[in-house]
């Protein structure tokens, strides 16, 4: 079970309102190797980027000393009397689990504040919104508690809450991508996680940003079922293990092509990896997704994938220079709507106002690593 120790004072006077934002992410390669069932035996590797679309948590005072949780995405509001700690159950099990962690360890009192949760994209669309919301909640409540956690500590705590406390059959890539921000390779091992930034010069980063297109399929997907099947198969099925190994190798190739500046080859590797990933589960793709993807390729895209575990959500495409208008037109004919985005470099952060002064911070004092940089550690 997680534990923390403080490594220094939080900046003073954040005021009665605290706003935390955590970016969503797009994963390029290696998805599935961040599941413990795989990386504890074989090591995992994911290439991903945080994007400038966010989950936001706002903490405000409540004058009556009670507690309130409001989710704009689900249209749910729950109110609790002073001293009443919400039981961790649906609806809103995720914020309740984060609250439980802070209150049970004495970091926060029971009550006196309200939480308002919102996301720029609907839940269940493959951009890591559940983990980004968890990360934003941790950032916001840590600020309220004057508890300083570095990015690795936030990511590891978010992983513990989602995977261990709530029993979600997911991996760790989303939490780390959101907490750290940027374009990264993330290594997963039994003894910890390492985040390594992919350093591209400004023109190369801008070119990659411009050539990646993101379209909503309008379909929600059941990632828990897909990942649950994959987690089970990873422990017993040699074909699944071999396929994940190939996906990991392709992720490493993507890193090499980005370092070499060969963006079009990177796009083609997305295509190879997507066709490989579809073999993990019959639920990863669908007839409609296959049709949209092939239409995009026919219009000039070099590769792409469904974000997240698959089955719906967003279609990510790599479009070489000059092809984007044709690709957009092809998908518009099927009523797929584009979601413009840019890369996020900062990761989860606090954005609060006190007397007109804006406070913005994403502390990363400790090196990224498996034990939370010394701020967060796992108890037996």
pLDDT in tens, 341-355: 999 999 999 996 443
User: The CATH number of 202-338 is which of 1.10.760.10, 3.40.50.1820, 3.30.70.890, 3.40.1190.20?
Assistant: 3.30.70.890
**Which ranges in the chain are annotated with CATH 3.30.70.890?**
202-338
Where does the chain hold its CATH 3.30.230.10 domain(s)?
Answer: 2-199+346-378
pLDDT value, residue 366: 35
Given pLDDT bands bounded at 50, 70 and 90, which one contains residue 31? very high
Q: Which residues contact 120 (CB under 8 A, 6 or more apart)?
A: 24, 53, 54, 55
Q: What is the reported pLDDT for 284?
A: 87
| pLDDT confidence bin for 64, thresholds 50/70/90 | very high
pLDDT exceeds cutoff 80 at 340: yes
Output DSSP code: residue 283. Answer: T
**Average pLDDT, stretch 232-245?**
79
Give the Cβ contact number of residue 241 at 10 Å: 16
- End-to-end alpha carbon distance in the chain: 7
pLDDT confidence of residue 226: 58
Over the chain, what is the mean pLDDT? 87
DSSP label at residue 343? B
Q: How far apart are CA 149 and CA 266, in angstroms?
A: 35
Asked whether 211 and 300 are in contact (CB, 8 A), the reply is no
User: d(Cα 220, Cα 122) in Å, to the nearest integer?
Assistant: 9
CA distance 133 to 174: 10
CA 30: distance to chain centroid? Answer: 14
**Confidence at 183, pLDDT banded by 50, 70, 90:** very high
Tell me if residue 298 falls in helix, strand or coil: helix
> In this structure, what DSSP letter does residue 115 have?
E
- Concatenated DSSP letters of 213-267: EEEE-S----HHHHHHHHHHHHHH-HHHHHHHHHHHHHHHHHHHHHHHT-HHHHH
If one compares 261 and 366, the residue with the highest pLDDT of the two is 261
Question: Does 5 have pLDDT greater than 60?
Answer: no
Please confirm, yes or no, whether 174 is among the known catalytic residues. yes
**What's the confidence (pLDDT) of residue 370?**
34
The two tokens of residue 51 are: 């994007």
| CA–CA distance, 287 with 265 (Å, rounded to integer) | 26
**Contact at 8 Å (CB) between 347 and 128?**
no
CATH 3.30.230.10 fits 2-199+346-378, yes or no: yes
The answer on pLDDT for 357 being more than 80 is no
Choosing from 174, 187, 271, 344, the catalytic residue is 174
In the three-class reduction of DSSP (H, G, I as helix; E, B as strand; rest coil), residue 23 is classed as strand
**Tokens of residue 335, six digits:** 């009523």
């Amino acid at each position: 079970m997680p534990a923390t120790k403080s490594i220094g004072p939080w900046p003073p006077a954040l005021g009665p309102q605290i706003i935390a934002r955590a970016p969503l992410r797009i994963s390029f390669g290696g998805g599935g190797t961040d599941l413990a069932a795989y990386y504890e035996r074989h090591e995992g590797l994911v290439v991903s980027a945080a994007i400038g679309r966010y989950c936001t948590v706002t903490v405000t005072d409540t004058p009556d000393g009670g507690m309130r949780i409001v989710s704009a995405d689900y249209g749910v509001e729950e109110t609790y009397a002073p001293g009443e700690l919400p039981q961790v159950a649906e609806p809103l099990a995720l914020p309740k689990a984060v609250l439980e962690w802070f209150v049970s360890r004495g970091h926060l009192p029971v009550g006196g504040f309200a939480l308002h949760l919102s996301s720029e994209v609907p839940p269940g669309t493959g951009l890591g919104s559940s983990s980004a919301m968890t990360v934003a909640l941790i950032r916001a409540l840590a600020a309220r508690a004057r508890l300083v956690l570095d990015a690795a500590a936030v990511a590891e705590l978010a992983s513990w809450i989602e995977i261990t406390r709530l029993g979600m059959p997911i991996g760790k890539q989303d939490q780390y991508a959101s907490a750290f921000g940027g374009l990264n390779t993330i290594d997963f091992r039994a003894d910890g996680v390492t985040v390594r930034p992919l350093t591209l010069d400004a023109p190369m980063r801008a070119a990659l940003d411009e050539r990646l297109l993101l379209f909503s399929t309008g379909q929600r997907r059941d990632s828990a079922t897909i990942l649950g099947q994959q987690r089970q198969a990873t422990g017993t099925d040699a074909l699944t293990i071999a396929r994940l190994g190939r996906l990991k190798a392709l992720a490493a190739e993507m890193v090499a092509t980005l370092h070499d500046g060969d963006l079009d080859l990177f796009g083609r590797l997305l295509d190879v990896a997507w066709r490989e990933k579809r073999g993990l589960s019959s639920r990863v793709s669908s007839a409609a997704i296959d049709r949209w993807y092939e239409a995009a390729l026919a219009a000039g895209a070099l590769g792409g994938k469904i974000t997240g575990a698959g089955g719906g959500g967003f279609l990510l495409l790599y479009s070489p220079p000059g092809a984007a208008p044709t690709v957009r037109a092809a998908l518009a004919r099927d009523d797929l709507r584009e979601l413009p985005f840019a890369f996020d470099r900062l990761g989860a952060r606090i954005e609060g106002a006190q007397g007109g002064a804006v406070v913005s911070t994403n502390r990363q004092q400790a090196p990224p690593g498996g034990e939370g940089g010394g701020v967060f550690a796992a108890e037996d």
